[in-house]
Structure formats: C-alpha cells, structure tokens
Amino acid sequence: MKGLLEHVGVEPGRLHFSWISSAEATKFVDVANTVAKEVKALGPARYFIKKRAEVA
Amino acid sequence: MTERVYTKEEWIRGLEGLREDYTLFVPVKDGDFHAFMPMNGEKVPDFDFQNTRLSPKSVIYPRSERLFEYILGNADPEANILKESSKDFSPRAIVGIRPCDAQAFQIVRRNFDNPEYRDPWWVRHFESTTLVGLGCNEPCSTCFCTAVGGGPFHEDGLDALVFDLGERYLIKGLTDKGEAFLAKMNGGKPADEAVLKAAEDLTASASQKITSSPPTDPLKGKKINDLFNAPFWEEVAFGCLNCGTCTYLCPTCWCFDVQDEVLGKEGDRIRNWDSCMFPLFTLHGSGHNPRDKKVQRVRQRFMHKLKYYVDKYDNGVQCSGCGRCVRYCPVNIDIRDVCERMNNY
Amino acid sequence: MENPYLPYPVRIDKITVETEDRNLKTFHFVFLNPEDEAKFAYTPGQFAELSIAGKGEIPIGIASSPTEKGFVAFTVNKVGLVSSYLHNMKEGDVMGIRGPLGNWYPWHEMEGKNVVIVGGGFAFTTLRSSIIYMIHPENRPRFKDITVVYGARTPGMLLYKDELAAWEQRDDIHMHITVDGTNDPDWKYNIGFVPTITEQKITSADNAIAIVCGPPIMIRFTQPVLEKLGFPPERIILSLEMRMKCGIGMCGRCNIGDKYVCKDGPVFSLAQLKEMPPEY
Amino acid sequence: MLRYTEKIQETAKRLLQEKRVDAFIGYGKGSVPMMNQPLMVSDPDRVDRLYWDNFCGLNLCNYLTKRTDKVGIVANGCNSRNIVTHIIENQIKRDQLYIVGIPCEGMIDHRAVMRAVKQKEILDIQQNGKTFVVKGADFEETFEKEKFLQSNCAVCIHRNPVIYDELLGDLVEEQTGVSPYQDVEKVEAMDPEKKQGFFTRLISRCIRCYACRNACPLCYCPTCFVDESRPQWVGKSSDPTDTLTFHFLRAYHCAGRCTDCGACERVCPMGISMRQFTKKLNKDCQELFSWEAGLTLDQRPPLDVYRPDDYNDFIK
C-alpha cells in the first residue's frame, strides 16, 4: 500500500506504520512527534485529495 | 443557401477568426486517436481523420455535469434548498462533426426535448450549438449510416456541411444557424458549377463505399415480446463484460445517473453518464433487480436501440450507424449481427 | 425554461410512525412558497421524488389526496440511503419534493362503476389517497360500491390504523381488513392472505374495476383470483415500482419494453402488462 | 497458429462428444480484424466456430467464475495462471475443468499495428508464422510479429501453461534475460511531483467505463467498491481524484494476484496503460515476497497469509 501510494506520487512521509503496545507510552509520543514533524515539513497535501468535483 | 469555397489555409484562418463569436470544438489528434477539443490557439485542428474515438455528444451532454448546488445545515434560511448551477450557454460550434454524429443528436433530442418535458441543460446546450459537418469521403467498413437513414454526406441534423475536395473545401449553409456561422466567417469565394458537380460526385461515390447495411425496416413489424423471448440472446451475451464501452462511445446513448456530492457544508447534485450494462443501473432499494443477469442487460441495450425506440417514436432506430461499438467492443459484440438476428427472427 | 429537475422546497410539518417495527413513517410536507402548492396539482396514483440535499432523491407514491389541502403526505419505508436519512429528520427540517410525476388510476373509466381496491403491506399509500378522494362528499356520487381488501403481516404492520377504523364505521365503503396472523385475542377483523380474502369477499366483477397494489407475491396470487371472478385484464389495474432517477422518462433505467414506469406508468392495466416483457 | 485452430476444434468436439465436458470455452473469429470473440460451444457440431490466432488477448478465465458445470477451456500461460488463482480463490473447482493448454508465443498489440499503418482502416490481416500481412483499402504491409507483441507478452516468462489436462503443441522455450519492470523503474526514479504528473496524465482520458475492471478475471466481487452506495467510497463523476482512486484501489485489489495478462489494457477504449499500477505491485511482490501469481495450487497469495518472516521494514 505504502509502496503503491508513493509510486503514484504521494510524498514519502505522509503514510506511517507503527506497532505500539499500550505499555509503550514513550514510543507513542515519539512516533506521534515524528509523524507530525514529517507531515508539517511536507506542507499541506494537494495531490490525491478530493475537492469539489471537477466536472462541467 | 450559401455555398462557398475555401482553400484549406483560408478555412483554418476563417475558423481562427470565428473564435470571438463561438467556442469552436474541432477534431484534434490526441495520441493514437482524435478528440473534439476547444480550438484555443494551442491545439491544431486536424480534419484528416476517420472519426473521433468518443462521439461529440459530450459537448452538449458532458460525461459529468453539475446540475444544482446547495449549502447544508440550519443556520442559513436558504440551506438545503437546491439552486441551479450557472452555466455558459454562449454560442458554440462543433466543426468537423460527422453526419452520423449530427444525426445522433436528432435521435437523442426525442428523449430530451419532448412535448411533456424539456431537459433544460441538454436543450440549452443543443440550441446554442451550431453543427458544421464534414462529409465522409472514405467511410469505414464498419460504418452503416446508410442502413439507418443517414449517409456519408447526409444533411439532416447539420447546420452546415463541408465537402473535402482535396485542395479545397466547399461549405454549404443548411439552416439559419449555419448561415449565420458562414456570414461571420471571413475568406472564401462563391462556389462555381464545377465545384458543386465535384461535391455531387463525391457524395455518390462515398455512399457506394458503405459496404455493410443490415436492413432496419423489418424491425417495426416484429412483436416486442417475440423478440424479447428469442433464443439467441444467451449466445449474443456470452462474451459481454458488462463494461460501458459501447454505451459511452455511442453517440445515441443518453442514460444518466444523478448523484449528490458533499464537501463540508456545501454540496452538488451532479449527473453522470450511466449505462444499462451495469447491474446497478436497475437495482431496487429492496435488493430486487429486474435486470440482474448479463443476458437481460445485453438484451435491453439492443432491444432499446432496435425495437423499443422504433415503437416509441416511429422514427427509425436509435442508432446512427457510426460503427464505434462495432470497432471498440472489447469482445466484438457486433450490432449489425444482432440486428440481422432480430430481422430474421 | 422550466426546470423539471428542480424540487419545490418544503418543510416537514408532521411525522407519524405508522408501524410497530417503526420502519414506516408518514411525512406531511408544507410548501415553503405557498404558490408551489397549486403547481403541485396531482391526481391519486401519482408519485413524486423526495429530494434531500446531499443525499439524493427517491420516488414515493403520494399518500395524501388532492381533496386534503395545505399539505402533501408520503409514507416512506426505510430501505436505502435516502429513506434512512429521511427517517432521522425532524419536524421543521427543510427538503424538496419534485412532481407530481407519472400517470394515475383511471378515474374517468372508474366513474359509474363498482370499485374494488386490493392492497397489501406498505403499498397501500396511493390507495389511501384514492379512498380519501373517492369518499369525499363531492366525489362519492361518481362511484358505485367501493370495496377495500387490505392486508398486512400483523395488526401492528397495518398503515393508517385510525383511518381504517373510521372507514369500518361508514356505510358507503365496504372494508375487509386482514392480517396474515396475530396473537391478539381481541382482533376483530379477518385472518388470512389477501388473495384468499379477496376470493371470499368479492362476489362479482359486474361493472367493476379492480385496483391492486402490493408486494409482487401478493399481486401474483391475486391476479388469478380476480380473473376467476370475471375481471377482464383491462379492468385489473396495477401500480408498479422501479428504480428511478429522473422521474420524467429521460434517464432510461425504469423501462419495461418501450414504456417508462416513471412517465407512462406507474399505473398499468393487466392487459397492458401482458403485452410488455415480464421484466419488473 | 491455424494449426491450433484445427486442434482446438478437434479437441473440443471430442470432449463434447465423449461428454467429458458440458461446454467448451474458447475464442471465435471476430467480425473485424484483430478482434476475437469469447465463445462457448456446447454442441459438438458447432465447434467449427472456435478459432485461435495472435489476437486472443482477452482472458477467458472471466467466464469460469462460479460456474457449476464441467467446462473445457483453452489456456495459454497467463490464462492458465489465472485459472490457478481462480481455483485457489474458490471461484471454480479443479475437477470441473478440462484445461486445454496452448504454449503461447505472445499476442499482437492491435494498437501498435494501428500506429504502424498510421491509423488507417485495416480490412484484413494474414498471419504467416513470424510475420503478418496487413491489408487496407490502398495499402499492404508486412510486419514482424516479434516487434508488435503486446507489451506484457514481450516481457512474459511464463508462455507455457502451468496447469493443463492436455497440451495442443510442443512447449515453447521460455524467454530469458528479459527485464519486465523497466517502465516501473523509470517511474520509481521520478520525484513525487513528476510521479503525480505522470499518473494524472496517464488516467486523464479515463471515462470510467470499467472495461479494465470487467475484463480482469480477478474482479469478481458481487458489488465493486466503486458501486457501493452505503458507504460510498468513491465519487462516480469524471473528477480526476475519484478516477485516480478507482484505478489505485482496483490495482491494489489485484496485488499478489495479477498475472499481467494485459486484458485490462487491451480492452481500454481510451488506450490507457493501467498496467503501470499493477506492475508496480507485481514488482513489489516479486522483490519482497519472491512471489509471482498463479504458478502453483499449493500456496496462497502473499497478501492472503501471514508468515513470521514477512517483510515489515516499513513498520516503525
């Protein structure tokens, strides 16, 4: 999924996967921070986002 | 009736000059095939083509079209009330439309513009469009316009008709709309006898090149239920993939679906082409589907075109013989063959 | 140019839960622009598209009668996307209705005749419209005997219970209410399927016309009963249902043969249906 | 090629006469050049309609889904791999099938031929072994078949059927040294913006006729996700994002199952290369799971099973 999304042009860094146990509070914080940082760095997504239908 | 002759360069220049008065849709080479696109100075018109892959029906009846828009919620007193979307109904012209595709608009018009109801979008788009046809010097082996009341230089349904005489074009005005188009167009000179004679010969020779012509007259005399229960439908339908190629490429298929799309607090009611080949087309809310099986849907398509339409309007078949479905059906279901089976049943 | 796709804006004025399973509700709509009510002039048997912004439209038979002024009513079964959303809407909410659409019961032919109405389940809506219309003092003299056979699975699944009880009390309409079965010891009406009760209660087809509305299985078994009683196919009238979008014969999906159910129907005589492919 | 036609007809006749099968599925000659018709024959006297040439690019496996009778079917390499996938996914049982294997040398790309004759109408095509002759109203040209193969056939390394009850010819030599994913690698090397442009252009002509989906033997869901209304996953208009969603998810549903038979591209009326989506997934399956679809009845596709050693580098 990640492979194909990035292949069609979604920037790497927009999709993250992580296994976090309910006991891994620090890991959760780390992952959340990393995701937020990486996505912020990429800026707002414009591609593959449904807006008002482009129709006649 | 105005009859003028243009050199090919003059013709293109004349069209360029008309861009102020009309949005011109012209055939443009787009990869492997041709498509009607707006003439906007970037795209070069190419009138040396057999026919466009998609019929020009989308100029008048787009694949997807916004009908209404609205806002949701309770705050605004106008919320939840549909407003008609604003549209551009300024003059357009389809230049280079083949006579079969122009005739198709006449066939479709009986559906969208009838004594009880007029489809406001189709009718206004149609009325604002001038159809400048280009006769077919070299019809394909899959063309059968002459079998369905048309021909390679058939004039009905066109506002003007162009004859490609090699070095020059002869253009004939056929209706008021066509005359207005010609009056605005610069260049050219009046046609002389020799040119008119050449056009006449061309018309005759082109008609003779149409080789396939399944007769459509016998269809009227048949009974709907006899044809409906005919044994050949299973065999006809076996290969069908139930895709929408035939219906979407067809200039005379008009079926549509209406969908609401919402983004936040704003929404649109959009109409999209639909196809009788899709199972969802007739699926009831209860789960019941009167055309659940492939064979029923294939039968519906051909019965509609070749029998129901014939009986309903008493004005020929719902087919203009363009041959697109014959050429592009992925599994080669050939309407000419089906028509013959229906004739002979 | 008049736009046949543009719904009239309406406000939901009243919602009534009709059945014990709460899957059927009757909605009374009031036109936001009073002049639209006159434009929406309808005849019993017709339907309209109920239009909800953001969801879509559904074709529903008109349950009110033109003799009832100030509102139009529809009884809606909760099955799909639009009807489920509608069931969650509240009195006062704004939506749209588009119509009236389709043809109607053959009122002209029914004049001076005995009228037999056979209905089952939640298809009773346009029949309610017809009954209210016929028993209106101005119209009642136009028709001879009016006989109604109406059945549901259980007493709790009958629509318009108060009105049914009121009609029972009248002497200008013969009511035969029935249920498939019930545990209610106080049930004072019939028990049995609609075709059976029709066979028992309807005695003559003389100068009579039958209007039948119900689920396909009921129609299938009622048809031979009526034919046995001597109703010719021209005098057995049915109302059909189909998936629809435009309601005005343009979008192409609701055809049976060369007829569009939305525009040429939904009311057909059995004689007409016999000439059409059995694709419904 | 014509020798196959005769052999198919003989075999079908024998199977039907001996009642080994109730029906036989193959191809019939189309009414226009380069277009053949899927055909089912159940009368042994009508087997003469069966036909085989280099334009049998549709995947016949489509016509097997949920059949209950005994059927004979012709199958080349990719079709046979889809039959394997169909059996694994319980769309048909092995013992219902009599598979007539056809070693394949690739199908001709009808679009490439049209391009070669500058889109002029072709009235007739004669195939003579390694060459074929194309005739139109005012031209006649001879082409080498090798240069006009469908792009999936040109890089195919499973030309021989992988499963069959009978083989109609000698096994052909499989191609070696082909690099099937050159086009995918080219896209992989692009930056995100270029990729976005590439795929936006790729599908810009799509009319959502769903020919690609319906021609694909893997797409047999009773209701496709694009057709669902509750919930509605994707809009139905010609909006480019909805169209991309359709192609993206359709491809993803084929992950680990696609045999690259090329039917989707072959049937597209607009000439869209939607294999650019599925091929990327095929490449990933190859690299991450050493998997190619439909080669064996003994193993389920990788997205269907969990193995402790599954690739999981993307999970942090």
CATH for C229: 3.40.50.80
Domain co-membership, C124 together with C97: no
pLDDT at D218: 95
Mean pLDDT of B37-58: 92
Domain co-membership, D275 together with D126: no
B–D interface: beta-carbon pairs under 8 A: 107
Alpha-carbon distance B203 to B172, whole Å? 13
Contact call for C and A: 3+ CB–CB distances under 8 Å: no
Specify the pTM: 0.93
8 Å CB contact between C269 and C120: no
Asked if A46 reaches chain B (Cβ–Cβ under 8 Å), the answer is no
Domain of residue C77: give its range.
8-101
Domain boundary residue, one of D127, D148, D169 = D148
Alpha-carbon distance C71 to C196, whole Å? 36
Compare CB distances from A50 to D238, D242, D252 and report the shortest one's residue: D242
When pLDDT is cut at 50, 70 and 90, the band that residue B243 belongs to is: very high
Mean pLDDT of D169-179: 91
Domain boundary residue, one of C37, C70, C101 = C101
8 Å CB contact between C174 and C147: yes
Domain co-membership, C133 together with C234: yes
Domain co-membership, D184 together with D270: yes
Query: How confident is the model over D32-49, as pLDDT tens digits?
Result: 999 999 999 999 999 999
- The dihedral built from the CA positions of residue D244, D265, B65 and B247, taken in this order, carries a sign that is negative
With beta carbons under 8 A apart, name residues in chain B contacting D267.
Answer: 241, 243, 245, 330
pLDDT at B76: 86
Domain co-membership, C149 together with C131: yes
Please determine, for residue B18, whether its predicted confidence score (pLDDT) is greater than 90. Answer: yes
Domain co-membership, C171 together with C206: yes
Q: Which residues contact B221 (CB under 8 A, 6 or more apart)?
A: none
Per the domain annotation, does D256 fall within a domain? yes
Asked if D66 reaches chain B (Cβ–Cβ under 8 Å), the answer is no
Domain co-membership, C80 together with C114: no
Domain co-membership, C117 together with C47: no
Strands D124-128, D131-135: pairing is antiparallel
Domain boundary residue, one of C51, C66, C101 = C101
With beta carbons under 8 A apart, name residues in chain C contacting D228.
Answer: none
Contact call for C and B: 3+ CB–CB distances under 8 Å: yes
How many other C-beta atoms can be found within 10 angstroms of the C-beta atom of residue D95?
8
Helix count and strand count (H, E) for chain B: 13, 12
Contact call for B and D: 3+ CB–CB distances under 8 Å: yes
How many structural domains comprise chain C? Answer: 2
When pLDDT is cut at 50, 70 and 90, the band that residue D313 belongs to is: confident
Alpha-carbon distance C83 to B72, whole Å? 18
Give the residue among D279, D212, D200, D291 at the shortest CA–CA distance from D243: D200
Give the residue among C39, C30, C28, C27 at the shortest CA–CA distance from C9: C30
Domain co-membership, C223 together with C201: yes
pLDDT at D181: 94
- Beta-strand runs (E) in D120-225: 124-128, 131-135, 140-144, 166-167
Domain co-membership, C25 together with C137: no
Please determine, for residue D1, whether its predicted confidence score (pLDDT) is greater than 60. Answer: no
D-facing residues of B in 249-268 (CB < 8 A) are: 249, 257, 259, 261
Query: How confident is the model over B279-321, as pLDDT tens digits?
Result: 999 998 888 899 999 999 999 999 999 999 999 999 999 999 9
Alpha-carbon distance B151 to B208, whole Å? 10
Query: To the nearest whole angstrom, how far is the Cα of B119 from the nearest Cα of chain D?
Result: 20
Asked if D237 reaches chain C (Cβ–Cβ under 8 Å), the answer is no
Asked if C80 reaches chain D (Cβ–Cβ under 8 Å), the answer is yes
* Interchain proximity C54–B267, CB inside 8 Å: yes
Residues of D with CB under 8 A from a CB of A: 184, 187-188, 192-199, 235, 237-242, 244-245, 248, 251-252, 255, 277, 280-281, 284, 314-316
Please determine, for residue D315, whether its predicted confidence score (pLDDT) is greater than 80. Answer: no
Please determine, for residue B164, whether its predicted confidence score (pLDDT) is greater than 80. Answer: yes
Query: To the nearest whole angstrom, how far is the Cα of D216 from the nearest Cα of chain C?
Result: 26
When pLDDT is cut at 50, 70 and 90, the band that residue A25 belongs to is: very high
Per the domain annotation, does C140 fall within a domain? yes
Mean pLDDT of C165-171: 92
Per the domain annotation, does D182 fall within a domain? yes
Tell me if residue B168 falls in helix, strand or coil: strand
Domain co-membership, C114 together with C178: yes
Q: Locate the chain D residue with the closest alpha carbon to B34.
A: D119
Strands C267-269, D23-28: pairing is unpaired
When pLDDT is cut at 50, 70 and 90, the band that residue D50 belongs to is: very high
Say what angle helices D192-202 and D240-253 make with each other, to 10 degrees.
90
Per the domain annotation, does C254 fall within a domain? no
Mean pLDDT of D86-96: 94
Mean pLDDT of C117-124: 92
pLDDT at D230: 81
Q: Which residues contact D312 (CB under 8 A, 6 or more apart)?
A: none
When pLDDT is cut at 50, 70 and 90, the band that residue A1 belongs to is: low
Please determine, for residue D149, whether its predicted confidence score (pLDDT) is greater than 90. Answer: yes
Query: To the nearest whole angstrom, how far is the Cα of A16 from the nearest Cα of chain D?
Result: 7
pLDDT at B217: 86
Sheet holding C190-191, edge to edge: C190-191, C174-179, C146-152, C114-120, C208-213, C236-239, C267-269
Mean pLDDT of chain C, nearest integer: 93
- Cβ burial of D233 (10 Å; 0-12, 13-18, 19+) is middle
What's C46's domain CATH number?
Answer: 2.40.30.10
Other chains touching D, judged by 3 or more CB pairs under 8 Å: A, B, C
Q: Locate the chain D residue with the closest alpha carbon to C79.
A: D230
Ramachandran quadrant class, B332 (left: phi over 0; alpha: psi -120 to 50; beta: rest): left
**Hunting for tokens 């079964």 — which residue is that?**
C77
Domain co-membership, D195 together with D134: no
Share of chain D above pLDDT 70, in %: 99
* Interchain proximity B70–C53, CB inside 8 Å: yes
* Interchain proximity D211–B244, CB inside 8 Å: yes
Per the domain annotation, does D309 fall within a domain? no
Ramachandran quadrant class, D220 (left: phi over 0; alpha: psi -120 to 50; beta: rest): alpha
Compare CB distances from C6 to B82, B117, B303 and report the shortest one's residue: B82
- Beta-strand runs (E) in chain C: 8-17, 24-31, 47-52, 56-61, 72-77, 94-101, 114-120, 146-152, 174-179, 190-191, 208-213, 236-239, 255-256, 259-260, 267-269
When pLDDT is cut at 50, 70 and 90, the band that residue B43 belongs to is: confident
Compare CB distances from C94 to B67, B81, B123 and report the shortest one's residue: B81
Mean pLDDT of B169-179: 95
Report DSSP state, residue D58.
S
Domain co-membership, D141 together with D283: no
Alpha-carbon distance C21 to D170, whole Å? 68
Domain co-membership, C132 together with C224: yes
**Hunting for tokens 């055939």 — which residue is that?**
B27
Q: For residue C200, report the phi and psi dihedrals to the nearest 5 degrees.
A: -75, -40
Alpha-carbon distance D82 to B104, whole Å? 41
Mean pLDDT of D88-113: 95
Window from B213-222, B226-235, D69-78, D253-262 with minimum mean pLDDT:
B213-222
Dihedral angle, C-alpha A5, A7, A13, A16, nearest 10 °:
40
8 Å CB contact between B98 and B322: yes
Q: Residue C170 half-sphere exposure, CB side, CA atoms within 13 Å?
A: 20
Query: To the nearest whole angstrom, how far is the Cα of A22 from the nearest Cα of chain B?
Result: 34
Tell me if residue A43 falls in helix, strand or coil: coil
Give the residue among B107, B102, B28, B51 at the shortest CA–CA distance from B325: B51
Alpha helices in chain A (DSSP H): 2-7, 25-42
Domain co-membership, D276 together with D208: yes
Q: Locate the chain B residue with the closest alpha carbon to A49.
A: B263
Which helix (H) or strand (E) segment holds residue B106: the answer is: helix B99-112
Please determine, for residue B77, whether its predicted confidence score (pLDDT) is greater than 90. Answer: no
8 Å CB contact between B298 and B286: no
Per the domain annotation, does C252 fall within a domain? no
Per the domain annotation, does D78 fall within a domain? yes
Per the domain annotation, does C36 fall within a domain? yes
Report DSSP state, residue C140.
G
Q: Most distant CA pair in chain A: distance in Å?
A: 53
Domain boundary residue, one of C101, C121, C140 = C101
Compare CB distances from D237 to B243, B272, B329 and report the shortest one's residue: B272
How many structural domains comprise chain D? Answer: 2
Supply B119's token pair. Answer: 């489809």
Query: To the nearest whole angstrom, how far is the Cα of B270 from the nearest Cα of chain C?
Result: 10
Query: To the nearest whole angstrom, how far is the Cα of D248 from the nearest Cα of chain B?
Result: 19
Q: For residue D272, report the phi and psi dihedrals to the nearest 5 degrees.
A: -85, 135
Please determine, for residue B168, whether its predicted confidence score (pLDDT) is greater than 70. Answer: yes
* Interchain proximity B266–A52, CB inside 8 Å: yes
Please determine, for residue B143, whether its predicted confidence score (pLDDT) is greater than 90. Answer: yes
CA distances (Å), C79 to each of B280, C24, C214, C216, D162, in order? 16, 10, 16, 17, 48
When pLDDT is cut at 50, 70 and 90, the band that residue C10 belongs to is: very high
Asked if A51 reaches chain D (Cβ–Cβ under 8 Å), the answer is yes
Please determine, for residue A27, whether its predicted confidence score (pLDDT) is greater than 70. Answer: yes
Compare CB distances from B283 to C1, C2, C243 and report the shortest one's residue: C243
Query: How confident is the model over B258-267, as pLDDT tens digits?
Result: 999 999 999 9
Domain co-membership, D141 together with D170: no
Alpha-carbon distance C113 to C115, whole Å? 6
Query: To the nearest whole angstrom, how far is the Cα of A48 from the nearest Cα of chain B?
Result: 15
Per the domain annotation, does C217 fall within a domain? yes
Window from A51-55, B315-319, D243-247, D306-310 with minimum mean pLDDT:
D306-310
Mean pLDDT of B156-183: 95
Per the domain annotation, does D316 fall within a domain? no
Degrees to nearest 5, angle at CA C93 with C88 and C97: 95
Alpha helices in B281-334 (DSSP H): 294-303, 309-313, 324-328
* Interchain proximity C4–B117, CB inside 8 Å: yes
Query: How confident is the model over C38-75, as pLDDT tens digits?
Result: 999 999 999 999 999 999 999 999 999 999 999 999 99
Domain co-membership, C61 together with C159: no
Domain co-membership, D13 together with D137: no
Domain co-membership, C120 together with C184: yes
Supply B263's token pair. Answer: 């983004």
Provide Rg for chain D, Cα atoms. Answer: 20
Mean pLDDT of C26-38: 95
Domain co-membership, D230 together with D137: no
Supply B97's token pair. Answer: 């439309």
Mean pLDDT of chain D, nearest integer: 92
Ramachandran quadrant class, B242 (left: phi over 0; alpha: psi -120 to 50; beta: rest): left
* Amino acid identity, position C104: W
Domain of residue D195: give its range.
2-109+149-304
Domain positions in chain B: 3-62+69-208, 217-344
Alpha-carbon distance B213 to B232, whole Å? 21
